[in-house]
Amino acid sequence: MRFCFLLAILTIVVSAEPSYLSFPSDISWKSMESSHFHIIYRAGQKEFATRTLKAAERAHSLLSPIFPEAPPTTSIVLADFSDSLNGYSLGFPYSHFVVFAAPPDSMSELSSLDNWLDSVVLHEYAHTLHLYPANGAWKWLRTIFGTTIVPNGMMPAHLHEGLATFLETEFSQGGRGRSPFFRMMTRKAVSEKIWGTDFLPVDLFDGSTSHWPHGTSPYYFGYYFYESLWKKKGPKGIHELTLDASSNWPYLVNTPFVDVFGLSIPDLWKEIISEQNEKQKLELTLFEKEQKSNLSYLTKTKFTKKELALSQTLQRAAFLSSSPDKKPQLEIIETETGNLLKQVPVQFSGAGGLCWIENSGSDSFVLPLSHQENFYSTNRLTLLDVSKEETVDLKTPEGPIDHVHEFACSSDLKSILVYQEVGGKGTLTLFGADLSSAEIGLKSNLRWTLPPNTWISSVALGKNNLFLLRDGNETKIYEWAPPSSPQVLGKLEGHAYGLSQTGNQIYLISAPTGRDEVWRLDLKRKKMAKVVSVSGGINDFVPAPSRFFVSSYEQGGFDIATASVIETQMEIPLLPVKTDRAEEESKTNWEEKEYSPISTLLPRTWIPSALFVPYGFQIGAWIPMFDLSQKHFYDLNLGVDKRETNEGSQMLPNLSGSYGYRFGKSSHLQISSYFSPGFLVVSRSFFKRWGSSLSYGSRLGSLPIEARVSALVRRIESSDLGPANKSMGIGLELSWASKRAKVNLVHQQFIQGLGSFDNYFSSIANFETSLPSPFWNSAFWALSLRQGYTEGTPLYNSFFEGGGEILFSQGRGFFLNRGYLQGSFAARRIFGGNLEFRFPISRLDRGLGLWPVFLQNLSGALVLDTTSYDRGPASPYPKNWLKDFLWSTGVEIKTQWKFFYYLPTQLRFGAYRGLSRGGEPFYFTIGAEASL
């Protein structure tokens, strides 16, 4: 029995994956500069960009006294190609942040922002200032390696996000720290006596897929942490902490807090837990004195529920839901028993609205779904057929209805009121339609443009056409009676949403008491009265006779329940609206210019790497770069490859570089050159390769097929593997992908002449698919079929290599047969098949306190591999291709980790056995793959 132990030692390579090539390539960019910022934006959005620059300069004036230093200039990308409010900040390869500029989801904690644009800009710039300093030894390392050296980045996510979330709250009238959502989670955790224990241990503060509140965790827990620090030492404490951490030893996260505040992070948290316990107990005591609604729960699955609707008979309820064990879906349940009647997977968006169409015993829904194409992510109004599980885009003569943030249908299904916003411009449109008809056509009847810096949190059609307009930290109630313009009726302090009209009654969700609850709106008396009172919070509701159906929060998420109407109803007057405030226009001398990529294409960093490879090692340096618009990109790789060959130890340089330009909806040009020594494992010998290519890629019209055409030049120097060879030719690549499968075809054809020595071609076909297991939830079958064929040069100048694991960070071998040694097959014609049954073992989602190691899950796979190959028709060797198959089988255990707080890593253990000739009786591997 042969025992082969293969271990890949991985050097961490921090790439620009969070943003790299994630922007659409068809945008015509403009730019402006202010004193401290450089912004790029879509042509035609100068006013929106000016507002963003003003917000950035305001953020600089507020934050620069708090942090020890700032970049001379910070770049901003104003991105209008996502309908979900978000952003990110990077110091790599240069200081910049991106604002995905769209109004908030009215049900999310982001709805608490008083001015969402100002708050997001301040939040992201806080990250920039927090990450920028590098002192002590780190300052020298940054001088050598560039901007990849970020000492303040080596701490848990909640210590980053919490600081930005606290500052976003401190310097505004709103902010997530003041949101009913944050208070709701704390209040319920305290009432269940799990605040600071099961909710949540410190290793879960950064969030996990299986523990509520998932990705909100670092913002939530981090906010409370920095709120406490601010109370102790104010801005001075944050300044000293940032400075101390910028010279701290890697991942010793406690040290700066002890230095500045005299307490470790666990000790600081003991104080916070005690303080919040007392604060929330007082709030709960006050709530106990109120009359409460009786809740009867129909679901008990927790996590996310939203967009609740009732059937005409009130016997069924529909809603959107998601959880760690289920994909986002629409569910239909019985309203008396809670029994699940139907569930349909949907990619729901953050937009609000769900319209139920019952027609001849069939169910359909109008709802905004997430539509993604060519790096655009939009909320598109869609018709879902439940029985067929099919969707159709609702269209006007101008095309699909995108950028939807709120909508509502009339009770007779004859009209739809839709709020859309993109590029800082919001519109409210009343569409005429017949949703009960098989042929749905929408016609735009009336449209109203929102005032600048406002957004709509809810719309409702009924006796009155109503909508809620967020203006700063106020919610204004409007009535729209076409053809007249909308008229403001009153306003509320804070956020309100969830408008609903039933007969003459109008209801909404608001939080005057700090809890999102249901209130009845009396427009004649200019008052509102609470009708549903709960200790947690409500994010959606539907009125019904003598009760309400609600999506109500209990510890761990939302569930659907019926709620009784309280008898003693608290009343609150609406605030009068004197006049709509005029926007203060401050003059600027910022000049709009054509965007130039030059300044952001200069090299700023290089990243070292080291890998152990068969019979040697490789060391190198990677220099990646992309411009601010992500239309231009390049990378350089420099290194050496040292191996023990049959002729002794040899070391050869390894050089490569590429430059690309992206344009149009999905097109790109790329030029690449390389000198790369190849190494053949079976003969333990080098062969030198030179080459370059010029390629053009694009989508084929409206087809879901990506095509790429290349001009190719290749030269292989003479070696013991064969004579020198020079080839010139063309390449073609076609790829297609769906939810379940993908196909990739690659052909390279080199023609004799023009300096090319001989005819040569190489073709590869690849098919991959996955199917869910019918008998094991969360398990699935994965199948890959691969075919390669090449002819025209001496064998070792043109061949496919197959066999066992290649355990490099780049991934696994292409023609993989895991019961054989690496490089066991050198072939002209080769077929490979891999069948895996992958199954979950355990979702752990736990770490070791504040240490930078977090185990996410454990899974397994049963594998079956096969290979069939030969050396081509002209070879004297047997023609075994697709006639003789070599088989192997085995088992794999995979562990998913998050190392260094941010690096997703898979550690893989495999044991295999070759079942055919030449196979290994026992072949054991350990592999690692990581990418950021």
Of the pLDDT bands very low, low, confident and very high (cuts 50, 70, 90), residue 674 is very high
Distance between CA atoms of residues 126 and 379, nearest Å: 29
Q: Does domain 295-573 have CATH number 2.120.10.30?
A: yes
Distance between CA atoms of residues 364 and 357, nearest Å: 5
Among the listed ranges 7-11, 176-180, 296-300, 354-358, which one has the minimum average pLDDT value? Answer: 7-11
Residue 646: CB atoms within 10 A of its CB come to 10
Quick one: pLDDT at residue 173?
Answer: 95
Among the listed ranges 293-297, 739-743, 795-799, which one has the minimum average pLDDT value? Answer: 795-799
Q: How many residues does the chain have?
A: 932
**pLDDT tens by residue, 188-222:** 999 999 999 999 999 999 999 999 999 999 999 99
Residue 203: CB atoms within 10 A of its CB come to 18
Quick one: pLDDT at residue 1?
Answer: 33
Quick one: pLDDT at residue 724?
Answer: 78
Quick one: pLDDT at residue 812?
Answer: 67
Contacts of 303 (CB under 8 A, 6+ apart): 212, 321, 322, 323, 324, 556, 557, 558
Quick one: pLDDT at residue 569?
Answer: 80
pLDDT average, residue stretch 686-701: 90
DSSP-based three-state secondary structure for 188: helix
User: Which residue shows structure tokens 């790429």?
Assistant: 708
Residue 773: CB atoms within 10 A of its CB come to 13
Distance of CA 272 to the CA centre of its chain: 31
Distance between CA atoms of residues 560 and 595, nearest Å: 50
- Per-domain boundaries in the chain: 5-11+600-930, 150-289, 295-573
Contact 657, 637 (CB under 8 A): yes
For residue 727, is pLDDT > 90?
no
CATH topology (fold) of 5-11+600-930: Porin (2.40.160)
Contacts of 288 (CB under 8 A, 6+ apart): none
Better-scored residue on pLDDT, 8 or 423: 423
pLDDT average, residue stretch 238-252: 97
What are the φ and ψ backbone dihedral angles of 287, each rounded to 5 degrees? -65, -35
Distance between CA atoms of residues 340 and 141, nearest Å: 59
Contact 218, 146 (CB under 8 A): no
Of the pLDDT bands very low, low, confident and very high (cuts 50, 70, 90), residue 927 is confident
For residue 14, is pLDDT > 60?
no
For residue 655, is pLDDT > 90?
yes
pLDDT average, residue stretch 335-347: 96
Quick one: pLDDT at residue 9?
Answer: 23
Give the pair of three-digit tokens for residue 483: 């053809």
What percent helix, strand, coil does the chain show, rounded to 5?
A: 15, 45, 35
Give the pair of three-digit tokens for residue 330: 């629409």
Among the listed ranges 86-90, 223-227, 645-649, which one has the minimum average pLDDT value? Answer: 645-649
- Strand order in 557-564's β-sheet? 295-297, 557-564, 547-554, 538-544
Contact 641, 612 (CB under 8 A): no
Mean pLDDT across the chain = 91
Quote the percentage of the chain above a pLDDT of 70.
94
For residue 352, is pLDDT > 70?
yes
pLDDT average, residue stretch 458-462: 94
For residue 842, with 0-12 CB atoms within 10 Å meaning exposed, 13-18 middle and 19 or more buried, which class applies?
exposed
Quick one: pLDDT at residue 298?
Answer: 98
pLDDT average, residue stretch 884-892: 97
Contacts of 42 (CB under 8 A, 6+ apart): 27, 28, 29, 30, 78, 80, 423
List, in sequence order, every residue forming a beta bridge with 909; answer none if it has no partner.
893, 926
pLDDT average, residue stretch 302-328: 95
In order, the DSSP letters of 693-707 are: EEEEEEE-TTSSEEE
Q: Which helix (H) or strand (E) holds 227?
A: helix 217-245
For residue 186, is pLDDT > 70?
yes
The end-to-end CA distance of the chain, in Å, is 39
Distance between CA atoms of residues 250 and 252, nearest Å: 6
Distance between CA atoms of residues 825 and 680, nearest Å: 11
Q: Which helix (H) or strand (E) holds 46?
A: helix 46-63
For residue 446, is pLDDT > 70?
yes
Distance between CA atoms of residues 900 and 151, nearest Å: 12
Neighbouring C-alpha atoms within 13 Å toward the C-beta of 885: 10
pLDDT average, residue stretch 235-241: 98
pLDDT average, residue stretch 452-464: 93
Between CA 506 and CA 514, with CA 512 as vertex, the angle to 5 degrees is: 125
- β 415-422/404-409 pair status: antiparallel
Contact 551, 306 (CB under 8 A): yes
Which of 666, 717, 667 minimizes the C-alpha distance to 691?
717
For residue 18, is pLDDT > 70?
no
Better-scored residue on pLDDT, 718 or 658: 658
What are the φ and ψ backbone dihedral angles of 136, each rounded to 5 degrees? 65, -140
Among the listed ranges 77-81, 444-448, 605-609, 616-620, which one has the minimum average pLDDT value? Answer: 444-448
What are the φ and ψ backbone dihedral angles of 51, each rounded to 5 degrees? -60, -40
Of the pLDDT bands very low, low, confident and very high (cuts 50, 70, 90), residue 615 is confident
**pLDDT tens by residue, 576-599:** 987 655 555 677 889 999 999 998
For residue 12, is pLDDT > 60?
no
Contact 737, 709 (CB under 8 A): no
Distance between CA atoms of residues 735 and 666, nearest Å: 13
Quick one: pLDDT at residue 753?
Answer: 72
Distance of CA 541 to the CA centre of its chain: 29
Distance between CA atoms of residues 469 and 448, nearest Å: 13
Residue 506: CB atoms within 10 A of its CB come to 22
